[in-house]
Amino acid sequence: MAEKEAIMNKTMSNFHFKFMSFGYKFRDFFLPRKNILKEVGVKPGFHILDYGCGPGGYITAAEELVGKSGKVYALDIHPLAIQTVKNIASKKQLTNVETICSDYETGLADNSIDVVLLYDTFHDLSDPDGVLEELHRVLKPDGILSFSDHHMKENEIVSKITDKGLFKRARKGKMKVEGDMNDLFRMQEVFK
Ligand SMILES: C[S@@+](CC[C@H](N)C(=O)[O-])C[C@H]1O[C@@H](n2cnc3c(N)ncnc32)[C@H](O)[C@@H]1O
């Protein structure tokens, strides 16, 4: 119970979450998520981790791109986010979508993920370095961290993501994710 309360203290209110979800419907209409994921390089068979998935704007597009041989993990600290993704998966019969309610530990195996999506979430993390370590652990040696956060300046993003030596910058996308450009970071180490 105390653990549940501690988690709820770290999440936004249900009203704020629903308000944000409503705004994302417009974003996703004008900037379709599938085009972004295609630019990221999501392919059939990929295992994707959407870290801070929110109301699941990327889930359907990711599931369609990875196909039945792939897997989409949707992680969020907010129970409403998890419930929303579960509803989408159930309504659209997305059988290869799995939800993870957590604020940092993914519970996923080492070197198991091809692409992590970390969009509009990093600025909100209480332990950003811990999350980066966890993402580095679960990403395959040639995996990609696709990052965007319109609350942060580009140079701040680059230094915060690369400072610990876990990631190096690979390229910058051309497609707008959420008002900013899509920054991609690739694993620096081929073997951990
Ligand atoms: C602004 S929303 C972004 C949603 C989604 N990534 C998108 O761009 O459509 C940020 C999400 O991150 C989640 N979040 C915040 N802190 C978190 C944490 N420590 N661990 C997991 N999720 C977190 C929030 O609950 C929220 O759903």
> 43-89: per-residue pLDDT in tens?
999 999 999 999 999 999 999 999 999 999 999 999 999 999 999 99
**66 in a structural domain:** yes
Instruction: State the closest ligand 1 atom to the C-alpha of 54, by its place in the atom list counted from 1.
Output: 27
- Residue 142 corresponds to which tokens in the numbers above? 């040639």
d(CA 177, CA 147): 9
| Domain count within the chain | 1
* CATH (domain of 127): 3.40.50.150
Cβ of residue 81 lying under 6 Å from some atom of ligand 1: yes
Whether 149 lines ligand 1, by a CB cut-off of 6 Å, is no
Residue 114 domain-assigned? yes
- C-alpha distance across the termini of the chain, in Å: 37
74: its two tokens: 């949707």
Q: What is the number of the ligand 1 atom nearest to the C-alpha of 50? A: 6
Token pair recorded at residue 96: 């290869």
Q: Using one digit for the tens of pLDDT, what is the confidence trace for 86-142?
A: 999 999 999 999 999 999 899 999 999 999 999 999 999 999 999 999 999 999 999
Domain assignment present for residue 74? The answer is: yes
Cα dihedral sign for 62, 135, 73, 81?
negative
Is residue 192 in a domain? no
Cα-to-centroid distance, 45 and ligand 1 (Å): 25
Q: Is 12 helix (H, G, I), strand (E, B) or coil?
A: coil
**pLDDT single digits (tens) 1-36:** 455 555 555 688 999 989 889 889 888 888 889 999
